[in-house]
Amino acid sequence: MSVDLKKRFDRIVEILIQLQSKKVIKAQELADRFEVSLRTIYRDIKSLEQAGVPIIGEAGSGYSLVDGYRLPPVVFTKQEAMSFIAAEKLMEKFMDKKLMSDYKSAMYKVRSVLKHSERDSISVIENQIIMGKSSYDTFNQSVPHALQTVFESIAHKRQIALSYQGANDGQPDTRVIEPIGLFHENNFWYIGAYCLKREDYRQFRADRIFTIDLLAQTFTQQHISLEELMTNRKNNIPPLAIHIRVGLDIATHLDWQKKYFGFTHEQRTDRYVDLFFEYRGTLDYFARWFMMFADDAWIIGPPLLKDRVETILTQSIHGIKTLVT
């Protein structure tokens, strides 16, 4: 079999798998997935139809399999089987208990169709991978089903009732929300949602949720996409241009941290490194981060950052010298 023919055969098999995994899939999605032209996808779909696969749809509207049609058990390659190990380990670290339980159940089914050699390989390797535990909880342990509830809400457009405590709240507050999506940022999960109490879009951090319940009430309106919400969130916070200078030794240790503060670029000399930021968070947060390495750093601008660091330092020195009784 020639290389081109084998590539086409593999692609057609993959298209068949894609058709089984989604209710409707558009030709453009397939073209992007396999990096081929639309014309090639149309030709592959035609080949599947000629082979007796019952496909519904046409160019422009999307394709799907006739309801009830099922393929024989899928055969995974060795590389695909190995990828399950990494996925399972990541799930353990980033998912809540209920979703992790569902994933393990699904993995038992996946393993049941693997060849014995692949199963043996997975058993050998999975015990050699350890995901370190976080020093903080990504989810409130009293709400082990938070993500699963959000998924159900989004899929069926049903409202959710939360008991939620924000960073500045003295106690949890009840909110009814209409989720539009989930995103992971700075090691935490957030629910992007329309809050009926605030009558606006908000984000809710998963570890601050104390109770969560799926309601019978459906969404009250058509919502923007999660991508639009995140874009609007950034656009609503004007960036603050910050310029700091750090010693060469300190600069090395900031490489993995600075990206969380809107880092844009740097300028190096043989004695120091100038770091530039377009920061969109609270000034206090940046100031306290700066103080972690302030003994070998300088603030070039803006002046209000200098003032905030000076205020925090003054209060800190006062606290060191004064015993609170």
Give dist(CA 139, CA 96) in Å, integer. 7
Strands across the sheet with 173-185, in order?
A: 200-205, 188-195, 173-185, 158-164, 209-218
Q: Phi-psi region for residue 113, left (φ > 0), alpha (ψ -120 to 50) or beta? A: alpha
Task: Report the range of poorest mean pLDDT among 27-31, 72-76, 85-89, 224-228.
Answer: 72-76
As a whole number, mean pLDDT of residues 59-74 equals 71
As a whole number, mean pLDDT of residues 120-142 equals 75
Name the percent of the chain lying above pLDDT 70: 92
Strands 272-279 and 240-247, how do they pair? Answer: antiparallel
Give dist(CA 162, CA 111) in Å, integer. 37
Tell me, what's the pLDDT at 255? 87
Output the CA torsion 294→295→296→301 (10° steps). Answer: 40
The set of residues, in sequence order, having a beta carbon less than 8 Å from that of 117 and lying 6+ positions away, is 78
Give dist(CA 5, CA 80) in Å, integer. 22
pLDDT band (50, 70, 90) for residue 63:
confident
pTM: 0.62
Task: Report the range of poorest mean pLDDT among 60-69, 187-196, 264-273, 283-292.
Answer: 60-69
Which single residue is written with the structure tokens 């960036």? 239
pLDDT band (50, 70, 90) for residue 155:
very high
Residue 183 tokens, joined: 């995103």
Give dist(CA 278, CA 53) in Å, integer. 54
Tell me, what's the pLDDT at 73? 59
Q: What is the pLDDT of residues 299-316, one digit of tens each?
A: 999 999 999 999 999 999
- Burial string for 39-78 (b: 16+ CB within 10 Å, else e) reads ebbeebbeebeeeebebebeeeebbbbeeeeeeeeeebee
Amino acid identity of residue 36, one-letter, is V
Tell me, what's the pLDDT at 110? 75
Which single residue is written with the structure tokens 């035609």? 46
pLDDT band (50, 70, 90) for residue 147:
confident
Give the burial class of 295: count Cβ atoms within 10 A of its Cβ; 0-12 exposed, 13-18 middle, 19 or more buried. exposed
Q: Is the pLDDT of residue 260 over 90?
A: no
DSSP 161-195: EEEE--TT-SS-EEEEEEEEEEEEETTEEEEEEEE
* Average pLDDT of every residue of the chain: 85
Q: What is the pLDDT of residues 69-99, one digit of tens each?
A: 666 656 677 777 778 778 887 777 778 888 8
As a whole number, mean pLDDT of residues 124-133 equals 76
**Taking the chain, what is the end-to-end CA distance rounded to the nearest angstrom?**
84
